[in-house]
């Protein structure tokens, strides 16, 4: 596809020029100013938390839950009537009951009594473990389990195919590094609230479908619960630290995050399917986390809708419930709100009209990769019910004409990347989000952009025929966002916070106003011969400029 071919070329070229520039000793226009992405965020430090001004003085009891054999219960949780936040650490927690067998059957859940396959105790601790013949692995006792660093097998490497569920009972305080990383067949994990810390790679795995986290967990090490099969996840209000890679998923639709978290590290592609982020704090707080910048700025996760100060209603946001249903030549997915998304087209029509309904379900989206490499379609009409075109939906297809009847729509990462024939767009509504590389390499020129969009994502319009001159509504312009486009205009960027690397590389712009911009990245305006110190306005107001940002010297 075009995007994958373009970026390596640009990066290689930029590295060569960068080395040359470095050897010639070029300096930034303001060397005392931090030129990192964090320089464009509110002051106070990456991990500081902004006080929302609410002391949670007016609260009410909102919920209770009975304990089961493997999961805890709680009562008298409080909700702030002023700001709506659930105070997760309030109320009382009832420990899981544990299976109690009588007459070869649990008196609580009627589960047949399994045999004990193997059991043991961690050396030097009061922590015991037991693996049953039905695949359930339990941890009991008190204190912390030992660490099993990378390269060292944990106790359970020989049982990695036998464990299907894991239960950590009350009394365990810490789960050590790598403890269960080999247990990738586990579908259910329940962790008691006596656990306040989980080490790195402790639950690195693949099959997880149900997760009951400790309600008093404070620190979660990196790469835990990776490649899970969860659709909805609510993190406890006690959590303060989340390491990189945790909850990485291609299926997670809705994530609830409390504002107690001061560090939430991320890796590329960590939440590729995420659509709803329910956050109990403010946008300023969210943007201090790597998570916020990853989802909203870095250009890797389009189609994420942020619900601020969202509380107990987060579990009402839709998630996938059924897959593989068919309607004529269409395969579709059903969501919990009784809507559907087209996941595959199996026909051969050139002029295709997407149905607004399949069976009894309203079609609200096109699922990722649904028309990938489709070589039959030429014109596609999208009904007004559709609000999302997900990532790589038309990747490398023969689409040449697109008609959108919706009033507004979101477009995911690389949705039309490689659609080299796409030259006609009929759409009277607005795009509320345009993903990373979404229109790269297309011939689309006029797009109506919603005022809600805060960022132009990486390579969104690279090598396209987009015509745009006023970008003052945006806070961020991503790497290579307009690279190799023929803008040929006077460009207004007043007030944009950050302009990424190669954002306007070889675009033919005649002049540019950068008044109030906080940071301009490497090669942002490189190979634009008409730009000189006279045609660039407001350069003296920019907080930091990479020395290679322009063709001309900044010294």
| Helices and strands (H and E) in the chain: how many | 3, 39
Average confidence score pLDDT of the chain:
85
User: Of 403, 438, 473, which closes a domain?
Assistant: 438
Q: What three-state secondary structure class fits 22?
A: helix
Same-domain pairing of 434 and 466: no
Is 103 part of any domain? no
Confidence of residue 33 (pLDDT cuts 50, 70, 90): very low
Is 245 part of any domain? yes
Burial status of residue 352 (CB atoms within 10 A of its CB: 0-12, 13-18, 19 or more): buried
Contacts of 329-338 with C-beta under 8 Å, sequence gap 24+, read: 330/355, 330/358, 332/358, 332/361, 332/363, 332/367, 333/367, 334/361, 335/364, 338/362
Q: What is the DSSP letter of 298?
A: S
Q: What three-state secondary structure class fits 11?
A: helix
pLDDT in tens, 243-279: 999 999 878 878 889 889 999 999 987 887 788 888 8
Same-domain pairing of 353 and 342: yes
Measured CA to CA in angstroms, residue 427 lies from 119, 207, 383, 449, 469 at distances of 64, 41, 11, 11, 20
Where residue 359 sits, what CATH number does that domain have?
3.80.10.10
pLDDT in tens, 146-164: 999 887 877 898 898 899 9
Q: What three-state secondary structure class fits 540?
A: helix
Looking at residue 202, its pLDDT comes to 95
Is 105 part of any domain? no
Q: What three-state secondary structure class fits 7?
A: helix
Looking at residue 31, its pLDDT comes to 30
Is 183 part of any domain? no
Range of the domain at 470: 454-555
Q: What three-state secondary structure class fits 130?
A: strand
> Whole-angstrom Cα distance, residue 382 to residue 233?
31
Same-domain pairing of 326 and 433: yes
CA atoms within 13 A on the CB side of 522: 13
Q: How many domains does the chain have?
A: 3
Provide, rounded to the nearest whole percent, the portion of the chain with pLDDT above 70.
Answer: 85
pTM of the model as a whole: 0.61
Same-domain pairing of 312 and 286: yes
Taking residue 232's Cβ as centre, other Cβ atoms within 10 Å add up to: 19
Same-domain pairing of 312 and 326: no
Handedness of CA 244, 199, 226, 218 (dihedral sign): negative
Taking residue 132's Cβ as centre, other Cβ atoms within 10 Å add up to: 20
Same-domain pairing of 352 and 283: no
| Residue (of 252, 247, 275) closest to 435 by Cα position | 275
User: Of 284, 317, 350, which closes a domain?
Assistant: 317
Is 260 part of any domain? yes
Same-domain pairing of 356 and 412: yes
Confidence of residue 171 (pLDDT cuts 50, 70, 90): very high
Query: Helix, strand, coil % (nearest 5) of the chain?
Result: 10, 30, 60
| Residue (of 433, 421, 366, 413) closest to 396 by Cα position | 421
Same-domain pairing of 324 and 423: yes
Is 339 part of any domain? yes
The answer on pLDDT for 16 being more than 90 is no
Same-domain pairing of 298 and 351: no
pLDDT in tens, 195-228: 999 999 999 988 898 999 998 999 999 999 999 9
Q: How far is CA 35 from the centre of its chain?
A: 25
Same-domain pairing of 465 and 430: no
Q: Which residue has the higher pLDDT, 13 or 133?
A: 133
Is 60 part of any domain? no
Confidence of residue 53 (pLDDT cuts 50, 70, 90): very low
| Whether 7 contacts 480, CB under 8 Å | yes
Same-domain pairing of 271 and 331: no
pLDDT in tens, 54-66: 567 777 776 678 8
Match 């075009």 to its residue by tokens.
2
Same-domain pairing of 270 and 331: no
Is 420 part of any domain? yes
User: Of 261, 285, 317, which closes a domain?
Assistant: 317
């Amino acid at each position: 596809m075009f995007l994958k071919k373009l970026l390596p070329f640009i990066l290689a070229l930029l590295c060569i020029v960068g080395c040359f520039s470095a050897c010639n000793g070029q300096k930034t226009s303001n060397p005392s100013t931090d030129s990192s992405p964090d320089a464009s965020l509110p002051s106070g430090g990456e991990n500081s938390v902004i006080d929302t001004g609410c002391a949670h003085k007016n609260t009410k009891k909102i919920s209770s839950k009975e304990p089961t054999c493997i999961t805890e219960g709680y009562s008298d949780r409080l909700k702030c009537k002023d700001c709506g936040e659930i105070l997760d650490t309030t109320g009382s927690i009832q420990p899981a009951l544990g299976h109690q067998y009588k007459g070869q059957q649990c008196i609580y859940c009627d589960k047949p009594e399994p045999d004990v396959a193997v059991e043991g105790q961690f050396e030097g601790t009061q922590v015991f473990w037991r693996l049953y013949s039905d695949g359930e692995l339990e941890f009991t006792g008190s204190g912390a389990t030992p660490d099993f660093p990378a390269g060292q097998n944990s106790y359970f490497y020989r049982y990695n195919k036998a464990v299907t569920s894991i239960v950590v009972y009350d009394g365990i305080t810490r789960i050590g590094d790598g403890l269960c990383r080999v247990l990738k067949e586990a579908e259910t994990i329940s962790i008691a609230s006596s656990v306040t810390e989980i080490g790195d790679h402790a639950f690195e795995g693949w099959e997880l479908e149900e997760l009951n986290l400790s309600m008093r967990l404070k620190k979660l090490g990196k790469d835990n619960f990776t490649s899970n099969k969860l659709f909805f996840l609510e993190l406890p209000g006690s959590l303060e630290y989340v390491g990189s890679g945790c909850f990485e998923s291609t299926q997670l639709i809705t994530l609830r995050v409390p504002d107690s978290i001061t560090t939430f590290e991320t890796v590329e592609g960590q939440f590729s399917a995420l659509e709803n982020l329910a956050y109990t704090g403010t946008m300023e707080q969210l943007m201090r986390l790597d998570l916020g910048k990853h989802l909203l700025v870095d250009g890797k996760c389009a189609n994420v809708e942020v619900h601020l100060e969202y509380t107990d209603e987060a579990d009402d946001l839709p998630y996938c419930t059924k897959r593989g249903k068919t309607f004529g030549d269409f395969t579709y997915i059903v969501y919990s709100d009784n809507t559907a998304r087209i996941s595959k087209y199996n026909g051969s029509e050139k002029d295709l009209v997407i149905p607004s309904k399949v069976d009894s379900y309203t079609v609200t989206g096109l699922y990722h990769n649904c028309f990938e490499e489709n070589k039959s379609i030429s014109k596609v009409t999208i009904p007004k019910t559709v609000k999302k075109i997900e990532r790589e939906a038309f990747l490398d297809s023969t689409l040449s004409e697109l008609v959108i009847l919706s009033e507004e729509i979101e477009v995911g990462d690389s949705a039309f990347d490689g659609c080299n024939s796409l030259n006609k767009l009929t759409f009277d509504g607005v795009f509320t989000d345009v993903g990373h590389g979404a229109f790269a390499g297309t011939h689309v020129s006029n797009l109506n952009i919603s005022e809600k969009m805060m960022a132009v994502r990486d390579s969104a319009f690279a090598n396209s025929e987009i015509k745009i001159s006023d970008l003052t509504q945006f806070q961020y312009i991503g790497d290579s966002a307009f690279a190799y486009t023929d803008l040929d205009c006077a460009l207004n960027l007043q007030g944009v916070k950050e302009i990424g690397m190669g954002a306007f590389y070889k675009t033919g712009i005649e002049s540019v106003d950068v008044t109030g911009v906080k940071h301009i990245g490497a090669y942002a305006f490189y190979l634009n011969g008409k730009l000189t110190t006279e045609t660039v306005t407001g350069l003296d107001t920019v907080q930091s400029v990479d020395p290679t940002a322009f063709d001309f010297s900044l010294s």
